[in-house]
Amino acid sequence: MSEADGGSEIIIKGGSVHVQFDSSGYVKDPGNSSKHNHAGKKITKIVVVDENGVEQCNSGDSPNGLKWTVTVSTK
C-alpha cells in the first residue's frame, strides 16, 4: 500500500540505525514520548529485505491487519 492510496510505511534500516516514518501521521503518545501511534491504521504487510536486497520475509497482504512485534537489537 502506498501513501497515495492512504497507506504509509515505517522503514527500519540497519548498519547504523535509521528509522523513517510519517511523523505527522504517527503522533507521539502523550504518556511515553518514545512511542508513536495512529489508532486508525493497521499493519497489513511486513517485508524484510537484507543488505543485498534479497527478500527474507514477506507476510503477504492481510487487509484485516496483522499483529506482529518486530524487535531490532543494536550494539
Could you read off the pLDDT of 7-53 as tens digits, one per residue?
A: 678 888 877 888 888 888 888 899 998 888 888 889 999 999 999 99
The verdict on residue 74 lying in a domain is no
Q: What share of the chain is helix, strand, coil (3-state, %, to 5)?
A: 5, 30, 65
Domain that holds residue 49: 3-58
Instruction: Count the neighbouring beta carbons within 10 Å of the beta carbon of residue 21.
Output: 14
Q: Number of structural domains, the chain?
A: 1
Query: How much is the pTM?
Result: 0.71
Sign of the alpha-carbon torsion through 34, 6, 69, 51: negative
The verdict on residue 65 lying in a domain is no
The verdict on residue 54 lying in a domain is yes
Confidence check: pLDDT of 74 > 70: yes
The verdict on residue 72 lying in a domain is no
The verdict on residue 25 lying in a domain is yes
